[in-house]
Amino acid sequence: MATFKSRAVRITQHGGPEQMQLVETEVGEPGPGEVRIRHHAIGLNFIDTYQRSGLYPMAMPLTLGGEGAGVIEAVGEGVTHLQVGDRAAYAGSGQPGSYCDLRVMPAMSVCRLPDAISFETGAAMMLKGLTAQYLLKRTRPVEGLEPGDYLLWHAAAGGVGLIACQWAKALGYRLIGTAGSDEKCALALANGAAHMINYRTEDFVARVREITGGAGVKVVYDSVGKDTWGQSLDCLQPLGLMVSFGNSSGAVPPFAPGVLAQKGSLYVTRPTLASHARTRERTQAMADELFAVVASGQVKIHIDQRYPLEQAAQAHRDLEARLTTGSSILLP
C-alpha cells in the first residue's frame, strides 16, 4: 500500500504547549468510509488546548486539531458525496488530527466547500460556525426566541462570538456581549452586537438588568465556564436557558439543582457539536446553512492570526493568554 509523507503536531503526554512536537509521519490510503485530505489551512480552537492539557483526556500519542480545509486526494469504498479533487472542509469528526499536512479521516463530517469560500475561511469557520449554528438555531429557550429578544453572549469578540454577533443580528436578536477589553468590545459592536460590557471594569449582571429594563435575558451562551457561571444565572428571566458550551476559565463547579428553582425554574444544557452533527445528512444541512449565511455576506469570518504549522505551540500560548481576536489558523 502506498504511503505519503506528512508533518504533524503531536503530543505524547498531556501538559503545556511545550509538549507539542512537529514530527514526520506516513499516511496511507483511506479505508471504507474514509477520505485522504491534503490541508491548505487548519483551524485553531480553544478545545484543542483542553485536549492538549488533559482537561479533556485523550489517548496518546495524539495529533491535535479538530478542523481543516483542503483538497480530497483519495476516497475510500462507500464514500459517494466526495470525489478526488473536491475542495472540502470539516469539523466535529470526533477524531482530532488536523494539525498536519495530510490525513486520512472519516468522510462523514467532511463537506464539499463552495468555490465562493476560500480554504482559509473554510478552515477558520467550520467548528466555530457550526457551533454558532447549533447554538442560535437549535439550542433555544423553552419560550423560544423572537426578533427583538435579548440574549447574553460571553467572549463575544472570540471566533465563535464574532460569528454569533453577526448571525444574531441577521436573525433580529439583540445580542448583549461581554469581553475583557474596550478594544474587544468595540470589535464585537462593529460586528453586530447590540450592547457590549467590559467585564473587567463593569458588573455585567447589573448592566444586563439595566439594558433589559430589569427583565433579564431569555438565554445565556457561555464558553467561559467557572468565572461567569454563577453571575450568568442571575442574568436570566424565569424559565431562561443557561447554555454552557466551553470552559476557557476552567470547568464549571458542581452545583445544587435547587439553585435553578430559586432563580426562576431555569434550564441548563451542555451541548456539543458531535451530538448535533451525528449523521452526514445533518452535518451537511448545518454546513449548508453556514455556507449560505457566509456567502450572502451577512456573516464575515475574521481571520486575525495566521501561524505556520511549526509555530502551533505559540498559537496555543496566545490563545490561552487571550491575546487573540476572531479566528486563528495554522498554515501547512
Residue 325 phi/psi, 5° resolution? -130, 160
47 Cβ contact partners less than 8 Å away, ≥ 6 residues apart: 56, 66, 127, 246
The CATH code of domain 4-128+277-331 reads 3.90.180.10
C-alpha distances in angstroms, 33 versus 42, 76, 287?
Answer: 22, 6, 19
The answer to whether 266 touches 291, Cβ cutoff 8 Å, is no
226-263 pLDDT per residue, tens: 889 999 999 999 999 999 998 888 888 999 999 999 99
Task: Write down the pLDDT at residue 95.
Answer: 85
Task: Write down the pLDDT at residue 283.
Answer: 93
C-alpha distances in angstroms, 327 versus 106, 217, 271?
Answer: 25, 27, 21
The answer to whether 55 touches 251, Cβ cutoff 8 Å, is yes
Domain residue ranges in the chain: 4-128+277-331, 140-270
Question: How far, in Å, CA of 144 to CA of 134, rounded?
Answer: 14
Task: Write down the pLDDT at residue 284.
Answer: 92
The CATH code of domain 140-270 reads 3.40.50.720
62-111 pLDDT per residue, tens: 999 999 999 999 999 999 999 999 999 999 777 899 999 999 999 999 99
The beta-strand segments (E) located in 33-109 are 34-44, 62-63, 67-75, 87-91, 102-106
CB atoms closer than 10 angstroms to residue 136: 22
> Which contiguous run of DSSP H or E holds residue 78?
none
